[in-house]
Structure 1
């Protein structure tokens, strides 16, 4: 139901504020991506991180400790690929950390062990489904091994287990916290990515709905144009042929016939301007539409064109919805147009319109029937069926018993 009352027999087609509404909708569905580093900024960040850590590792060279410096560099350099190959980088750093115990022996921590929490964070954030839990197990084992190595030279065998608890917990706290932060960051990335994809899908669906609505509107206008042009031109052709034959016998007949042709042409042009006006955004889009009681004008127009029409219409036209009235009017218009075009020059038509729980229409002619082929192609019958189907009605068209053609339609109220 429209929120604004419509004038009787008018169709509301809002156009002026359509661009404003579309822009507001587009702003509402435009995905808002949280601030994050771009690809170039990420490369610079990783480069500065690796270079800074390598600079710390070079301090071992200044202290005449080349072996710890080499081990530290072997742990820092793989961090350059921590985003694209996080699981492999973690495995390399973990292996290098394990090799540290073998190569350097039981010694103090070296600066290269800063790579382990960074690698744990990276695999927690960018690692695969199975690499994340596996890396957590490796991290806990590495913390125990590191604590065992660090306490080997400060504690005896009797109290070694007691003394390694504090270093193990400290190491695990740093490494596991880094891993947990990485997992949380990965979940956030996936959640943001899903929101962006959902907003993008919503935008695409909105664009598709707009395109489908425009396509439906173009199809409706095409049907309207077909009805107007086919009906108006067929009337004008019949009247022109009649005037041409009658003028040879009685020239006075040509004058009123030409006036009727001019009136029909002006009415068709006005109807075409109304339809074309729907395509112009600078107009309001409010145009009067034919109603059910305008069927009587169709009958008068057909008779004026020389067609033999016997019409049975309601004495008092009941009030019906505008859409139903327009559909009924177009069905009668197209049916009479088909009689003029296909039934033959001497064909007579019978029109019957009744209104009870539905608008019932029947148009029968005694012309050439199926031989004329009115249902073989074209948009007329298709347009009638579509109009009736919109209102959950039914329509049939085919040869009549004894010859001719019959069009029947029922449009529920």
Structure 2
């Protein structure tokens, strides 16, 4: 079952789409041009035409703000040449200044503000021709026009910076969400790899014991039925334990006692150094001659659980490979010891046999040795595995504890 996608940490604010923005600008231009209809009879068609030249470029103010600003500027310059009084078309100027400050880069906004200052003074001079107090009128008109343009520029700049800030927040939240999803995916991949290693160890070890015991029971059934019965009991017990570990790792086993459904044994903790003696005893039961030197149980209990499990799995895989590849009548030696103190403390182990060594037929995958190296590498340790000079095969590892 796939998990539902998590909501974005910061949603973008509601905005008009491309079609909505276009119609907004159409209505804006229409609203500004509408008063020209009744005024056309009094001001003349030329003034109305100039006003339309000032207003119509606003339809493209979002996509081409700089070009629209200069087009409006040119139309206003034309108005200065043909008119000496204000016009309704001049309402396009603050809209154009806002647009260039809002939708263009900051240098274009500053240029529009500077041009606005010059245009305000020019318009004030043009409108005050013949005024009884020209100096006061010019200053007043220039200040008012400049204030309108400066306000439009400030609002546009504020909108642009706010938009950039919101976009940065949204981009950051989306990046954090993507990184979180990647971390979850990596963790899931690591967990799948860990389960695959555990499954390999459990299945390979359990099946190798079952195969060896089943072969022994088959031969013993002809001569000693009691031995065959005990051997088959060991096969059944090993199979149940392997099945229990597999189901526990996959999260499919509910807590049951020994008398639960199927007669399966109850759940038990992950194995560690303290369980190596049982592992060696199981190998001996399977017919191998095993000589073991194991750490004291009290000292083994001081080793972290992860390190203990890794050491157990390495020894388990090594004994499994002995049964699979070393051949018959093999002697095995298992040495596990705790060395060093403090940060230099480590579990050092070695499993060696006198079997076929490099001449053994491999099963073609090498997943066991790969799993060993991956397990030990997690704890910063090292593994060496290969044929012995005098014959046989050896696996040695050092795991910091």
TM-score over 0.5 for the pair: yes
> What corresponds to 2:210 in structure 1?
236
C-alpha distance in 1, partners of 2:23/2:268? 63
What are structure 2's unaligned runs of at least 5 residues? 255-266, 340-344
C-alpha distance in 2, partners of 1:50/1:278? 69
8 A contact 1:60–1:66 mirrored in 2? no
Aligned-pair CA distance for 1:120: 0.2
Q: 1:143 aligns with which of 105, 109, 120?
A: 120
> What corresponds to 2:282 in structure 1?
301
> What corresponds to 1:190 in structure 2?
164
8 A contact 1:342–1:374 mirrored in 2? yes
C-alpha distance in 2, partners of 1:142/1:120? 12
Aligned-pair CA distance for 1:365: 0.6
C-alpha distance in 2, partners of 1:56/1:168? 25
Matches for 1:151-170 after TM superposition, within 5 Å: 151-154=128-131, 160-161=134-135, 163-170=137-144
Aligned-pair CA distance for 1:253: 2.5
The alignment status of 1:397 with 2:397, answered yes or no, reads no
Matches for 1:35-114 after TM superposition, within 5 Å: 35-63=14-42, 65-102=44-81, 104-105=82-83, 107-114=84-91
Q: List per-residue Cα deviations over 1:68-104 (Å, max 9, x = no partner).
A: 11111111111111111111111110000001112x2
8 A contact 2:384–2:397 mirrored in 1? yes
8 A contact 2:383–2:397 mirrored in 1? yes
The alignment status of 1:366 with 2:354, answered yes or no, reads yes
8 A contact 1:60–1:68 mirrored in 2? no
The alignment status of 1:324 with 2:298, answered yes or no, reads no
Aligned-pair CA distance for 1:182: 0.4
Aligned-pair CA distance for 1:39: 4.2
SS of the equivalent of 2:47 reads: helix
SS of the equivalent of 2:355 reads: coil
Worse-superposed segment, 369-378 or 256-265 = 369-378
What are structure 1's unaligned runs of at least 5 residues? 1-18, 281-285
RCO comparison, higher one (Cα < 8 Å, 6+): 1
> What corresponds to 2:394 in structure 1?
406
Matches for 1:204-215 after TM superposition, within 5 Å: 204-215=178-189
Q: 2:273 aligns with which of 267, 292, 305?
A: 292
C-alpha distance in 2, partners of 1:98/1:304? 105
Q: List per-residue Cα deviations over 1:37-90 (Å, max 9, x = no partner).
A: 454543332222111112122233243611111111111111111111111111
Aligned-pair CA distance for 1:252: 3.5
Aligned-pair CA distance for 1:321: 1.1
SS of the equivalent of 1:164 reads: helix
The 1:300–1:32 alpha-carbon spacing in structure 2 relative to 1, beyond 3 Å, is same
> What corresponds to 2:375 in structure 1?
387
C-alpha distance in 2, partners of 1:64/1:139? 25
Alignment length (residue pairs) = 380
C-alpha distance in 2, partners of 1:260/1:39? 75
> What corresponds to 1:8 in structure 2?
none
TM-score (norm 2): 0.89
C-alpha distance in 1, partners of 2:364/2:135? 96
C-alpha distance in 2, partners of 1:314/1:108? 104
The alignment status of 1:343 with 2:326, answered yes or no, reads yes
Aligned-pair CA distance for 1:306: 0.8
C-alpha distance in 2, partners of 1:365/1:153? 116
The 1:375–1:248 alpha-carbon spacing in structure 2 relative to 1, beyond 3 Å, is closer
C-alpha distance in 1, partners of 2:88/2:380? 80
Aligned-pair CA distance for 1:135: 1.5
SS of the equivalent of 1:407 reads: strand
SS of the equivalent of 1:351 reads: strand
C-alpha distance in 1, partners of 2:97/2:36? 20
8 A contact 2:247–2:253 mirrored in 1? no
The 1:97–1:279 alpha-carbon spacing in structure 2 relative to 1, beyond 3 Å, is farther
SS of the equivalent of 1:392 reads: coil
Q: Would you identify which runs of 4 or more consecutive aligned residues in structure 1 move more than 6 Å? A: none
> What corresponds to 1:130 in structure 2?
107
Q: List per-residue Cα deviations over 1:84-142 (Å, max 9, x = no partner).
A: 1111111110000001112x24x110100000011000000001243222222221111
SS of the equivalent of 2:34 reads: helix
C-alpha distance in 2, partners of 1:270/1:189? 59
> What corresponds to 2:366 in structure 1?
378
8 A contact 2:288–2:331 mirrored in 1? yes
SS of the equivalent of 2:53 reads: helix
